[in-house]
A and B are shown apart, each in its own frame.
Chain A
C-alpha cells in the first residue's frame, strides 16, 4: 500500500505556487458548478434542436442526420418539454419574469412565440452564460403553476425555439395571415423565434447536451414516445394554442407527411450533391409547393441558398442567405450562410 505524499497546496508555502494551484482547485470547481447549471439546466429545459446545431457544425455531410435527429427530437418534443419543465424549476438563478408573461392575457400567442427570439437576439452579446436562457425557460415553466392546465403548453414553446423542426409547425398558426405564402422568403419571422431563442441560450454546448438528451429520449421508441405527451398537448388552453396544436398534429399524424417531406427534400439534396443546381432548385420549389408550411422549410431554404450559389447566382444566394441570417442569426446553418452571404463575422446584436 502506497502512502500518498502530502498535497502541494497543503505543504507549499510559496505564495506564487499556491495561488496558481488554488486558482484551479477553487476556480475550476466554481466554474464547473455554474456551467453544469447552465448546460444541464438549459438542456433539460429547451429540448433543443441541438441536433440541428450539432449538425450545423459538421455542416453539409450532417444534413440528413440533422433532419433525422430533428425528428427524433420532434417525436419526443413533449416528453423532453415535460422534462424541461421540471429542470427549469430547478434553475438556480431563475429571475422569474414569468408572472408578467402568465398574467398577461392580452399577449397573443404570436408575440409570445416571437418574444424570446427578440430578447435572445438582443442579449446575444451578453456573454457566455447565455443570459437569455434563464429568462426564457424558467418563464415558460413558471407559467405552469399559475395555470396547471396550461402546463403542457409552456413546455412546448420552450422546447420549440431551438428546434427548427417545430419551428415551421409552430410559426404557422402563429401567423395565420401567412398561410397562403408558400414562398419561404416571405416569412422569415417563422425562423426568428427559434433562432433568436437559441441565440439567447447562447450556448452551443447546452444545445448539444439537449440533442444528446433528446436523441436519447427518442431512442427506445422514437415517435411513439411522443404519444402520451402530445395527447396532453391536446388539452392546451387557447392561450398557448398558438404553438401547441401544430405539434400535436405533427406528432399525431405527422409521420407519413414527414416521410414525404424528407423524400421530397432528399431529391433536392441529391441533385445538389450531383452539382445539378437547377434540379435542386426545382425540387425545392416543388417541396414548398407541396408543403408550404413544411417542417423542413429551414433545410429547404438552406438547400436553395446552396443551389443558387452553385448555379452561379451568387447575388441571389447572398441575398437569401442574408435574409435567413437576419431572421435567424443562430440558425444551425448560420456559419455556412454567413460565408455564402459574404459575412465573415456575425453581425453583432442580431
Chain B
C-alpha cells in the first residue's frame, strides 16, 4: 500500500463519491475499454501535471474512469468530462497530500532541494522541480498552463475542454506564464543556494 495512496475511503469524501458508487454503470465493458484506450495516457499525464504524485496517478486515473463509467457522456465531450473529473480528483489528492504533510506523515517524492549539478540534469530531478514550480499556480491557471505548454493544445481547445470562454483561457494562460516564470526564478535560486 503506498503511503500516499488515495484510499478509496477518501474517494468517498469526494463530493459525489458516495452517490457515484451507488450509480449503476452506464457504459458497458467494451465502451469503457475504448474510453480507457483512448484517454488513459492523456489522463495520466494530466493528473501527474495537476500535482498527483507519480505513485498515485494510476489510482487517480482509475477513479476518473470509475466516475465516467457511471455517467452519460455526450459524444465528443469525453475529453472535457474526463479532464474536469481529473481536476476534481487531483484537487482532492493534493488536499490529502497537504494534510499528510501538515500532520507530519512521511510524504515521498518531495524534492529534497539539495541537488548536485549532475542531478539537475537528471530528468527525474527536473520533473520534481517542475512539480514545485507548478505548485505555485492555482489549479484553474495550472490546468490551462499544462494543457497549453505541455499538452500543446490550442487556447480554443482548452476553452472547450474546460468549458470556459476563450478569453478566460487566454488570460489564465498569461497569468500562468507569469507565475511560472516567477516560480522558476525562485526554484532556481533555491537550487543555486544549495549548491556548493
Contacts and interface: CB of A to CB of B under 8 A. Distances in A.
Which of A22, A32, A62 is most buried by chain B, counting CB atoms within 10 A of its CB?
A32
Interface in B15-55: 21, 24-25, 27-29, 32-33, 36-37, 40-42, 44-45, 48-49, 54-55
A16 B190 CA distance: 13
B61 A205 contact: yes
Given A25-B150, A57-B7, A16 B25 contact: no
A19 interface: yes
A27 interface: yes
B121 interface: yes
B126 A22 contact: yes
A19 B42 CA distance: 21
A290 interface: no
Contacts of A4: 148, 154-155
Which of B21, B45, B173 is most buried by chain A, counting CB atoms within 10 A of its CB?
B45
Nearest to B151: A25
A80 B152 CA distance: 36
Interface stretch (A181-189, A213-221, A239-247, A250-258): A213-221
Q: Is the interface of A mostly helix, strand, loop or mixed?
A: helix
A17 B186 CA distance: 12
Given A24-B150, A216-B69, A204 B5 contact: yes
A208 interface: yes
Contacts of B21: 65
B25 A219 contact: yes
Interface stretch (A33-41, A110-118, A267-275): A33-41
A44 B34 CA distance: 12
B177 interface: yes
Interface string A84-96: 0000000000000
| Interface residue range, chain A | 35 or more
Interface stretch (A5-13, A135-143, A226-234, A277-285): A5-13
B129 A20 contact: yes
Nearest to A38: B58
Interface residues of B, number: 59
Contacts of A26: 123
B32 A57 contact: no
A297 interface: no
A31 B48 contact: yes
B164 interface: no
Interface string A191-206: 0000000000001111
A25 B55 CA distance: 18
Contact of A20 (B12, B45, B133, B148): B133
Contacts of B66: 208, 212
A20 B186 CA distance: 13
Contacts of B166: 2
B154 A39 contact: no
14 contacts: A2-B156, A2-B167, A5-B173, A8-B180, A22-B126, A28-B48, A39-B58, A44-B33, A55-B8, A58-B12, A128-B55, A204-B5, A216-B25, A216-B27
